[in-house]
């Protein structure tokens, strides 16, 4: 069996859905499982719904309406008024969402988040499955929440591998086209959970692992994994082959083209991962598999924007010792600040963090009681794997470098954007 993942960008409109059909015609669809994300930016739109819901904002009705309108337009573009069943099925999902928003009593933000945001994938897969059937490709719609079991860590749930393995082995039918949702799972009480933003790649890997799949292909709006994000680097080049180890490193440092959790399950069973263009599906793209580190061997650039550079020194000029560092880290952990770089000197300790959940104000208040805290907001962290002088010069040229760190394979540079 092959596992294919289609992300939001590939199905952002009716043309995108039709293109999935074209891709399947070209590459085959017998014995395939499609893992599908929400359409376009639907997850972001549903995040606005959740925010409006918790703020009891008068904008809630309009933000829900926007999600409905977007999907209804795609339905009209795809089916006109033929195939009433798809209109009914999608409408049913919207009614469920309305019902939840009206009747929910839970004040747990993360719980509510998962119940609401999941409609993006539930609806996209409903539309896609109907479209395939409409085009005479028989398709089975699978509710992933009956298969991927997780704990109750809403928004970043951890997979119960044993239960998930059992469910997937028992329930996925081979030799047909299956369609299921990326990003979702369910907890022991069968409430919906999610695996973290951009988690659909990970879902594809979970299925591939449990099914002993032949390969995973993630279909992208780029030709494959490149040595830099082509949105920011004009001369980005395609990488034909990357080892699992190297791909894990690139994803770890923030190459957003592959979700970092995706690679480990695949590496364990040596299942190859192909990253290919949904615009030119017959091109080879990138193969992540056992083998060469990187082919061609080029410096790889990874950019992380909107980082926070924090420098801590002790108020009395004493050394920053292990006990301080462990205290600082447990605080970061508690407030979900993700540490991307650390540098230590005798009396100061610098960290580059990502404050996804806007918690730094609180952390700063606590730290300031013990340390002198200096910080610079909105810095950019550049990572160059397999760096050379030319590569470093290119990144630094004309910019204000705040910090630089080297290891054998990797150079990291923090740049001030002001």
> Which residues line the annotated binding site for ATP?
231
Nearer to ligand ADP by Cβ, of 49 and 257: the residue is 257
55 binds ligand ADP, rule: CB under 6 A: no
What is the C-alpha separation between 384 and 225, in angstroms, rounded?
15
Residue found under tokens 């200096």: 374
Shortest reach from residue 41's CB to ligand ASP, in Å: 8
- Count, residues near ligand ASP per rule CB under 6 A: 12
CB-CB contact of 118 with 180 (8 Å): no
Using CB under 6 A, pick the residue from 23, 90, 255, 288 that binds ligand ADP.
255
What is the C-alpha separation between 24 and 405, in angstroms, rounded?
45
229 binds ligand ADP, rule: CB under 6 A: yes
- Count, residues near ligand ADP per rule CB under 6 A: 18
Burial of 237 (0-12, 13-18, 19+ CB in 10 A): middle
CB-CB contact of 2 with 32 (8 Å): yes
Q: Which residues pair with 415 in a beta bridge?
A: 380, 401
- Which segments within 284-347 are labelled E, that is strand? 286-288, 294-295, 300-314, 338-344
DSSP-derived 3-state class of residue 326: helix
Token pair, residue 368, equals 């300031």
Shortest reach from residue 11's CB to ligand ADP, in Å: 8
Residue 183 binds which one of ligand ADP, ligand ASP, Mg ion, none, with CB within 5 to 8 A depending on kind? Answer: ligand ASP
What is the C-alpha separation between 15 and 18, in angstroms, rounded?
5
Calculate ∠ Cα 179-110-71, nearest 5°: 40
Shortest reach from residue 4's CB to ligand ADP, in Å: 11
Site string for ligand ASP, 1-40 (x = CB under 6 A): ------xx----------------------------xx--
235 binds ligand ADP, rule: CB under 6 A: no
- The two beta strands, 241-242 and 294-295, are antiparallel
Shortest reach from residue 226's CB to ligand ADP, in Å: 4
Shortest reach from residue 220's CB to Mg ion, in Å: 9
Q: What do you get for the CA distance between the two ends of the chain, in Å?
A: 51
Q: Which residues pair with 220 in a beta bridge?
A: 277
Using CB under 6 A, pick the residue from 78, 225, 363, 392 that binds ligand ADP.
225
Residue 199 binds which one of Mg ion, ligand ASP, ligand ADP, none, with CB within 5 to 8 A depending on kind? Answer: ligand ASP
Token pair, residue 51, equals 């925010």
Site string for ligand ASP, 158-197 (x = CB under 6 A): ------------------------xx-------------x
Taking CB under 5 A as the criterion, which residues in 180-199 touch Mg ion?
198
Site string for Mg ion, 20-59 (x = CB under 5 A): ----------------------------------------
Burial of 295 (0-12, 13-18, 19+ CB in 10 A): middle
Q: Which residues pair with 301 in a beta bridge?
A: 384
What is the C-alpha separation between 31 and 176, in angstroms, rounded?
5
18, 20, 26, 29 alpha-carbon torsion, rounded to 10°? -120
Site string for ligand ADP, 3-32 (x = CB under 6 A): ----xxxx----------------------
Q: What does the binding site for ligand ADP look like in residue numbers (CB under 6 A)?
A: 7-10, 37, 198, 220-222, 225-226, 228-231, 255-257
Q: What does the binding site for Mg ion look like in residue numbers (CB under 5 A)?
A: 7, 198
Q: What does the binding site for ligand ASP look like in residue numbers (CB under 6 A)?
A: 7-8, 37-38, 43, 120, 182-183, 197-200
């Amino acid at each position: 069996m092959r596992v294919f993942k289609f992300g939001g960008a590939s199905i952002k409109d009716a043309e995108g859905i039709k293109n999935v059909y074209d891709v399947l015609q070209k590459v085959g669809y017998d014995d395939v499982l499609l893992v599908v994300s929400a359409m376009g930016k639907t997850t972001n739109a549903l995040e606005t719904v959740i925010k409006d819901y918790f703020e009891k904002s008068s904008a809630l009705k309009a933000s829900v309406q926007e999600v409905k309108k977007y999907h209804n337009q795609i339905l009209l573009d795809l089916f006109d008024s033929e195939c009433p069943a798809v209109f009914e099925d999608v409408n049913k999902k919207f009614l469920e969402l309305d019902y939840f928003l009206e009747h929910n009593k839970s004040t747990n933000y993360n719980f509510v988040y998962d119940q609401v945001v999941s409609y993006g994938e539930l609806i996209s897969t409903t539309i896609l499955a109907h479209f395939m059937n409409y085009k005479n490709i028989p398709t089975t719609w699978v509710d992933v929440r009956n298969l991927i079991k997780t704990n109750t860590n809403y928004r970043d749930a951890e997979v119960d591998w044993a239960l998930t393995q059992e469910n997937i082995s028992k329930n996925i039918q081979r030799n047909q086209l299956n369609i299921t949702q990326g990003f979702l799972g369910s907890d022991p009480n069968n409430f919906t959970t999610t695996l973290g933003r951009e988690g659909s790649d990970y879902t594809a890997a979970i299925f591939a692992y449990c099914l002993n799949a032949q390969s995973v292909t993630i279909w992208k709006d780029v030709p494959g994994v490149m040595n830099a994000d082509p949105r920011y680097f004009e001369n980005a080049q395609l990488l034909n082959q990357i080892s699992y180890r190297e791909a894990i490193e690139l994803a770890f440092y923030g190459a957003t083209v592959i979700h970092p959790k995706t690679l480990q399950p695949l590496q364990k069973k040596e299942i190859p991962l192909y990253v290919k263009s949904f615009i030119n599906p017959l091109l080879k793209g990138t193969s992540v598999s056992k083998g060469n580190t990187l082919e061609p061997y080029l410096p790889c650039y990874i950019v992380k924007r909107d980082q926070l550079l924090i420098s801590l020194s002790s108020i009395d000029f004493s050394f920053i010792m292990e006990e301080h560092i462990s205290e600082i880290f447990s605080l970061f952990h508690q407030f979900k600040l993700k540490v991307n770089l650390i540098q230590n000197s005798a009396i100061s300790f610098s960290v580059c963090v990502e404050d996804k959940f806007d918690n730094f104000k609180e952390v700063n208040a606590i730290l300031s009681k013990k340390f002198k805290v200096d910080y610079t907001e909105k810095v950019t962290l550049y990572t160059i794997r397999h760096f050379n002088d030319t590569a470093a010069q290119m990144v630094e040229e004309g910019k204000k470098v705040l910090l630089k760190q080297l290891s054998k394979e990797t150079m990291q540079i923090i740049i001030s954007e002001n």
